Structure 1
Amino acid sequence: MIGWGDVYKVVSAMAPLYFALGLGYASVQWWKFFTRDQCDAVNRLVIYFALPFFAFDFNAHAGTFAAGYRVLAADAVAKLVVVLALAGWIAYCCWRHWIRAPKAPPASSASAWPGGPSWSWCITGYSLGTLNNGLFVGVPLLDAMYGKWARDIVVQLSVLQAVVWLPPAAGGVGGNPNVYASLLGVLWSSVANRWHLEMPGIVDGSISIMSRTGLGIGMFNTGLFIGLQDKLVVCRPGLTALGMAMRFVAAPAATAVGALLLGLRGDLLRVAILQAALPQSVGAFIFALEYDLHADVLSTVVIVGTLASLPVIITYYIVLGLL
């Protein structure tokens, strides 16, 4: 049974994240401390220094992957479920437009409502249904809910997302230092656990001092991103509702299917579903902006989803605790 003390722990874990996010937003919108170019510099600081050290530190000190194998497999099955659902949708659209109404022009515009056979909507739907903000939001949140073992699983899922799921959207791993940092962290963790090694104090301290900046500056950078937008909601209400439903309903539902198929029960099942209900990854918006794939939808889901994630996750936490 989930008590008020458990809810308070979740709020206590999330409040500092919102504080850093609020400072970033206020720095741009109200105080005008940063120009757009300076915000880009902060973003590069996060991408090339804060986040890689943060990811390496957590992976290097994480436990073995043994406890998380089933959750990782369930996450992969969930992504397959999303892909199959999107494939079924595009097949139905193609059949409706090209078989039943062959003379009707296909909805090829990327900004069209998702009712026509547009492959770009499959990519957007996949991003909404699979890519979450695991490191910045999931790590402190799941740690507060279930402890270190849950945090380690979220870190492992974030590694998989950075190494496997994001590179295809980014066109490869060459320009993503977070991929290399995650892989090096996993490699060191495996070697250290196998031969009972400890990282030299000088190296550990040097990494830790940079890693400790990762969470705060990462959320601050998210606040800068929100503050730079002309409007918090830049797409139509229908698309906003669809995006939020994909992120907070379809993604956990797909993960629940994958988890149940692999026999996950108890806290493992709860952690798998909760991590799927985390807010949208900012990286998904960056790729959408680069490739001109419904960046307005991704921007809105990142902003609104991040702001609305606390009550949504608390609701999931309470409901799952009753099962």
Structure 2
Amino acid sequence: MISWPTIYHVLEETVPLYVAMIVAYLSIQWWKLFTPEQCSGINKFVAKFSIPLLSFQILSTNNPYDMNLKLIFSDILQKSISLLGFAVISKACCVEKFDWLITGFSLSTLPNTLIVGIPLLKGMYGNEAVKLLSQIVALQSLIWYTLLLFLFEFRAARGMDTTTSSETASKNIPTAFLKIDI
């Protein structure tokens, strides 16, 4: 059974996150404190500065020689089974097979452990769980994000993307420049 002090520690770690999200929602939707341009700027700041710096802080404290081997193997097994499962499902059911494979894999295996997971596990299990979760973040950053980037580039190189770079380049270049005199 979950004890009251455990519930208190979980709430102590998660309530500030949810209060900040609720205040942000209210300030945009109800109070109209921010314009869409300002929201876009805040999103860019978070995406280009906050998340990379938080990721760097987590990755810099992770010792790759002290990682839990069972955790590494279970993470690789879980994500490999998920990738294989989505490959079979997207091959059998979906029209745009490769797009659904990439989307399903990224949504099911790469959770937001950095922002929500670390405070939640810290409240539930203490600093030992944070150490394990930082190892999972390191594996995500080094292996799984790289695999996703490879899949995106593979899709673009095979012409599976809806618009290729040559199509967009030819749309933006005047036809006079496309003629080559020999």
The TM-score normalised by the length of structure 1 is 0.42
C-alpha change, 1:171 and 1:39, in structure 2 (3 Å) is farther
Equivalent position of 2:40 in the other structure: 40
- Deviation for aligned residue 1:124: 1.9
CA distances 1:170-217 after superposition (whole Å, capped 9, x unpaired)? 569xxxxxxxxxxxxxxxxxxxxxxxxxxxxxxxxxxxxxxxxxxxxx
Equivalent position of 1:133 in the other structure: 112
* Identical residues among aligned pairs (%): 34
C-alpha change, 1:124 and 1:39, in structure 2 (3 Å) is same
Equivalent position of 1:8 in the other structure: 8
For 1:153 and 1:137, the matched residues in 2 are separated by 15
CA distances 1:93-143 after superposition (whole Å, capped 9, x unpaired)? 2xxxxxxxxxxxxxxxxxxxxx44431222222122101001100111111
Runs of 4+ in 1 over 3 A off after TM superposition: 61-65, 115-118, 167-172
Tell me if structure 2 keeps the 8 A contact 1:10–1:145.
yes
Answering whether residue 80 of structure 2 is matched by residue 80 of structure 1, we say yes
Tell me if structure 1 keeps the 8 A contact 2:106–2:148.
no
Equivalent position of 2:52 in the other structure: 52
1:1-323 matches, within 5 Å, as 1-62=1-62, 66-91=66-91, 93=92, 115-119=93-97, 120-170=99-149
For 2:4 and 2:104, the matched residues in 1 are separated by 35
Tell me if structure 2 keeps the 8 A contact 1:28–1:34.
yes
Q: CA RMSD, aligned part only?
A: 2.5
C-alpha change, 1:171 and 1:89, in structure 2 (3 Å) is closer
CA distances 1:251-296 after superposition (whole Å, capped 9, x unpaired)? xxxxxxxxxxxxxxxxxxxxxxxxxxxxxxxxxxxxxxxx89xxxx
For 1:39 and 1:171, the matched residues in 2 are separated by 31
Tell me if structure 2 keeps the 8 A contact 1:83–1:126.
yes
Indicate the SS of the match to 1:72. Answer: helix
Question: Runs of 5+ in structure 2 lacking a partner?
Answer: 152-160, 163-182
For 1:132 and 1:53, the matched residues in 2 are separated by 18
| Count of matched residue positions in the alignment of Structure 1 and Structure 2 | 152
Q: Which amino acid aligns with 1:127?
A: S
Q: Which amino acid aligns with 1:162?
A: S
Equivalent position of 1:312 in the other structure: none
C-alpha change, 1:168 and 1:53, in structure 2 (3 Å) is same
User: Rg: which structure is higher?
Assistant: 2
Q: Which amino acid aligns with 2:109?
A: T
For 1:16 and 1:39, the matched residues in 2 are separated by 21
C-alpha change, 1:126 and 1:43, in structure 2 (3 Å) is same
